[in-house]
Protein backbone atom coordinates (compact mmCIF):
# COMPACT_ATOMS: atom_id res chain seq x y z
CA UNK A 1 0.00 0.00 0.00
CA UNK A 2 2.67 2.53 1.00
CA UNK A 3 4.79 1.50 -2.01
CA UNK A 4 1.85 2.21 -4.29
CA UNK A 5 1.43 5.64 -2.70
CA UNK A 6 5.10 6.31 -3.46
CA UNK A 7 4.50 5.29 -7.09
CA UNK A 8 1.52 7.65 -7.27
CA UNK A 9 3.72 10.45 -5.91
CA UNK A 10 6.40 9.75 -8.54
CA UNK A 11 3.79 9.54 -11.31
CA UNK A 12 2.24 12.85 -10.24
CA UNK A 13 5.55 14.58 -10.95
CA UNK A 14 5.45 13.28 -14.54
CA UNK A 15 1.85 14.42 -14.90
CA UNK A 16 2.71 17.87 -13.52
CA UNK A 17 5.56 18.16 -16.02
CA UNK A 18 3.22 17.18 -18.84
CA UNK A 19 0.59 19.66 -17.66
CA UNK A 20 3.09 22.53 -17.75
CA UNK A 21 4.88 21.59 -20.97
CA UNK A 22 2.91 24.03 -23.12
CA UNK A 23 3.75 26.90 -20.78
CA UNK A 24 6.00 29.38 -22.62
CA UNK A 25 8.43 29.39 -19.67
CA UNK A 26 8.91 25.61 -19.73
CA UNK A 27 12.32 25.78 -21.35
CA UNK A 28 12.01 24.05 -24.70
CA UNK A 29 14.59 25.10 -27.27
CA UNK A 30 13.29 27.35 -30.03
CA UNK A 31 13.55 24.60 -32.66
CA UNK A 32 11.12 22.32 -30.79
CA UNK A 33 7.85 22.21 -32.66
CA UNK A 34 4.36 22.16 -31.18
CA UNK A 35 4.03 18.55 -32.37
CA UNK A 36 7.24 17.66 -30.53
CA UNK A 37 5.82 19.23 -27.38
CA UNK A 38 2.59 17.24 -27.73
CA UNK A 39 4.63 14.04 -28.16
CA UNK A 40 6.62 14.91 -25.01
CA UNK A 41 3.39 15.41 -23.09
CA UNK A 42 1.98 12.11 -24.35
CA UNK A 43 5.18 10.25 -23.37
CA UNK A 44 5.14 11.74 -19.86
CA UNK A 45 1.50 10.79 -19.30
CA UNK A 46 2.15 7.26 -20.61
CA UNK A 47 5.18 6.94 -18.35
CA UNK A 48 3.16 8.19 -15.36
CA UNK A 49 0.62 5.42 -15.99
CA UNK A 50 3.45 2.89 -16.21
CA UNK A 51 5.04 4.21 -13.00
CA UNK A 52 1.78 3.60 -11.16
CA UNK A 53 1.80 0.02 -12.48
CA UNK A 54 5.28 -0.52 -11.05
CA UNK A 55 6.95 -0.86 -14.44
CA UNK A 56 9.62 1.77 -13.68
CA UNK A 57 10.60 0.90 -10.11
CA UNK A 58 14.09 0.08 -11.44
CA UNK A 59 14.48 3.54 -13.03
CA UNK A 60 16.86 5.65 -10.92
CA UNK A 61 14.78 8.83 -11.14
CA UNK A 62 11.58 7.03 -10.21
CA UNK A 63 13.29 5.11 -7.42
CA UNK A 64 14.76 8.36 -6.08
CA UNK A 65 11.35 10.04 -6.06
CA UNK A 66 9.78 7.04 -4.34
CA UNK A 67 12.58 6.93 -1.77
CA UNK A 68 12.05 10.63 -1.04
CA UNK A 69 8.32 10.02 -0.56
CA UNK A 70 8.96 7.08 1.77
CA UNK A 71 11.81 8.55 3.83
CA UNK A 72 11.95 12.29 3.29
CA UNK A 73 15.60 11.91 2.28
CA UNK A 74 16.91 12.76 -1.16
CA UNK A 75 19.53 10.25 -2.28
CA UNK A 76 22.49 11.96 -3.90
CA UNK A 77 23.41 10.80 -7.38
CA UNK A 78 27.10 10.82 -6.49
CA UNK A 79 28.70 10.42 -3.04
Residue-level pLDDT at 75: 79
Residue-level pLDDT at 79: 61
In which band, very low, low, confident or very high, does the pLDDT at 78 lie, cut at 50, 70 and 90? low
Buried-state track 2-31, b at ≥16 Cβ within 10 A, e below 16: eeeebbeebbebbbebbeebeeeeeebeee
pLDDT digits (tens, 9 = 90+) for 2-49: 999 999 999 999 999 999 999 888 889 999 999 999 999 999 999 999
Residue-level pLDDT at 77: 73
**Rounded Cα distance, 52 and 72, in Å:** 20
Domain segments of the chain: what residues? 2-71
Amino acid sequence: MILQQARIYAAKINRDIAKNALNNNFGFASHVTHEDKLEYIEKNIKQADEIEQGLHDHNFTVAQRMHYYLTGNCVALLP
